Amino acid sequence: MSSAIRNKVMMVSALILVCLGIVAPTFFKDDLPKWWPASPIKLGLDLRGGVYLVMGVETKEAIKSRLTSVGSVVRSDLRSKGVAVAKARVSGERQLSFELLTDKGLPQLEDHMLQEYASLQRVSEDRTGGKVTVVYEMTEREASEVEASAVDQAIEVIRNRVDQYGVSEPIIQRNGEKQIIVQLPDVKDVSAVKRTIGSVAKLEFRLVSDPTKSAAQPSVTRKSRRGGEVRLEDEILMTGDVVDRAHVDINPQTNEAEVSLQLNPVGATMFDRITSQNVGKQLAIILDDISQSEPRINERIGGGRAQITGSFTPEEAHFLAVVLRAGALPAPLKFLEERTVGASLGADSIRGGVYASLIGCIAVFIFGPLYYRRAGLFAVICLGLNILFLLALLVIMKATLTLPGIAGLALTVGMALDANIITFERIREELRAGAGNLAAIEAGFHRAHWAVMDSNLTTLLSGIILYALGTGPIKGFAVTLSLGIVTTLFSALFVCRLMIDSIGLNNRAGKLSI
């Protein structure tokens, strides 16, 4: 054996050992010592069971809610300067209008807006019967920034909520401009997941309107948790942003679950002020536009602690605490696609896919040596190695094996044999034309080289396109198909070549077993 060949053989042997080491945990997870560095191959949701969700973020709502809060803040700021703004209204996609009963406060309003909210531009002014309505519009640039950051924030909030849900290896990623993909392995209850992820969890504190005051006072109505509606003052006193921690408590007197909130310092000061100014009034706690409870303020509350009561079941209270801790979504989500796979279907699929692939492989493994004798045996050994390399590559690249991925694996076996067939047929031809064994092998591999390359590279091309444009399981298929082509080229053109060369070298003149 020449030293060049010996080096190559040693290289390939080392590679095989390393790959065996990498693939081992996938098959013998429990029998390996703890220090073993490689991890088992990652299984996709379709094999493992779990929930796959695609959500659209309704980013236009984020703009509206930003404008609503600007309106509310401006009103309360101007009120402290002695200017009464009768109404602040969001209209269209990005317009905010203020209504003043007289034009006396107009300069102050315009001044205030210019100083505090430069991204809102004054677009029109309307005077009818003494009333003045000024319309501001958010610039397009600002609007698209708000939309983009809404998606980022939503991802952050969803991640927080999922973390609290205790799912192992969740995947949360952006999909295109306004979509979010969430993959939760091993989770079964899709409706619970949707509720946890999809609730906006917008928390507001408002005072309940005093029925004795005139109906002219601006007010809003909200549904009550106990049925019916409540009339509330339109000013939002505090929002969920100031919640620092939230946990479930059982009230020792009523034995009902309630959610205790710990507010951050800003919130604590705010809450202190609200409670001291409104003793005797009812404070409504509103979650996603439904009033949860309207406790009466008996005394000033310091220390930033608050409770939400409302005859919750323990599950409801727990859910509430989770969403309040994780924060509110900047905009509502719309569920665009949901796929749930039960664990037993996953197990069935693995069984079916693996059996079918094994039988397919065995058929190929029998056919090879039958048709090409010793060379065929080498070819199927190379096929086996090809599968080993491919699995190792999947582990190294942390790719996920999906059900179509298994099909891709089986298909790789069928197509990988093609490279060997092309080469062997070529060697046979050269032999028939009267070439010596070594020359036939040399010429066979040389002439087959481009046919093999061209045919595999075009398949790789469609694999890459599948990966780029496919979703979920199709991506999994594209990954195994594409990586399979890379390993096929290596094992058919390099490893198999090495083996065939060795028969040629040991048998220069006799009949070649091909």
Partner 1 sequence: MELFSHTLNINFMKYRWALIASSCLLFVFAVVVWIEAGPKKYGIDFIGGTELVVRFETPVEIAQVRKAVDSAQLGEASVQQFEGQSNDFSIRMKSEAQEQSAEIVKVALAKIEGVKFEILKQDYVGPIVGEQIKKDGVKAIIFALLGMLIYMTVRFEFRFALGAIIAMFHDSIIVIGFYVLSGKELSAGIIAAVLTLIGYSVNDTIVVFDRIRENMVKSSKTGSIAKYQSKYQDFIELVNASINQTLSRTLLTSIATLFVCFTLWQMGGSTISDFAFCLFFGIIIGTYSSIFVATPIVIALGKDTPDLRS
Look up residue 178 and give its two tokens: 């306004």
Residue nearer to partner 1 on the CB measure, 290 or 347: 347
Q: Looking at 267, 310, 463, 484, which residue binds partner 1 (CB under 8 A)?
A: 463
Q: Looking at 5, 84, 118, 465, which residue binds partner 1 (CB under 8 A)?
A: 465
Residue nearer to partner 1 on the CB measure, 187 or 248: 187
Q: Looking at 50, 404, 444, 504, which residue binds partner 1 (CB under 8 A)?
A: 404
Q: Any contact of residue 422 with partner 1 (CB under 8 A)?
A: yes
According to the 3-state scheme, what is the secondary structure of 55-96?
Answer: EEECHHHHHHHHHHHHHHHHHHHHHHCCCCCCEEEEECCCEE
CA atoms of 325 and 330, how far apart (whole Å): 15
Q: Quick one: which of 289, 307, 320 has its CA closest to 224?
A: 289
Q: Any contact of residue 335 with partner 1 (CB under 8 A)?
A: yes
Token pair 């996709």: residue: 44
According to the 3-state scheme, what is the secondary structure of 134-159?
Answer: EEEEECHHHHHHHHHHHHHHHHHHHH
Amino acid at 171: I
Contacts of 462 (CB under 8 A, 6+ apart): none
| N-terminal to C-terminal alpha carbon distance within the chain | 21
- Tell me phi and psi for residue 243, to 5 degrees: -75, 125
Grouping H, G, I as helix, E, B as strand and the rest as coil, residue 278 is coil
Residue nearer to partner 1 on the CB measure, 327 or 360: 360
User: Interface with partner 1 by CB under 8 A: which range of 29-37, 165-173, 247-255, 460-468?
Assistant: 460-468
Residues between 471 and 490 that touch partner 1 (CB under 8 A): 471, 473-474, 477-478, 481
Q: Which residues pair with residue 126 across a beta bridge?
A: 133
Q: Looking at 84, 118, 396, 457, which residue binds partner 1 (CB under 8 A)?
A: 457
User: Interface with partner 1 by CB under 8 A: which range of 57-65, 89-97, 202-210, 459-467?
Assistant: 459-467
Residues between 50 and 89 that touch partner 1 (CB under 8 A): 54, 56
Residues between 138 and 197 that touch partner 1 (CB under 8 A): 188, 190-191
User: What is the Cα gyration radius of the chain?
Assistant: 35
User: Interface with partner 1 by CB under 8 A: which range of 26-34, 213-221, 244-252, 422-430?
Assistant: 422-430
Residue nearer to partner 1 on the CB measure, 73 or 415: 415
CA atoms of 96 and 116, how far apart (whole Å): 15
User: Interface with partner 1 by CB under 8 A: which range of 26-34, 87-95, 340-348, 493-501?
Assistant: 340-348
Q: Any contact of residue 428 with partner 1 (CB under 8 A)?
A: yes
Q: Any contact of residue 421 with partner 1 (CB under 8 A)?
A: yes
What is the x/- site pattern for partner 1, positions 20-49, by CB under 8 A? --------------------------x---
**At closest approach, how far in Å is the CB of 148 from partner 1?**
20
Look up residue 73 and give its two tokens: 């803040």
Q: Any contact of residue 470 with partner 1 (CB under 8 A)?
A: yes
Q: Looking at 10, 14, 290, 370, which residue binds partner 1 (CB under 8 A)?
A: 370
Residues between 190 and 249 that touch partner 1 (CB under 8 A): 190-191
Q: Any contact of residue 503 with partner 1 (CB under 8 A)?
A: no
Grouping H, G, I as helix, E, B as strand and the rest as coil, residue 465 is helix
- Tell me phi and psi for residue 507, to 5 degrees: -145, 75
Amino acid at 238: M
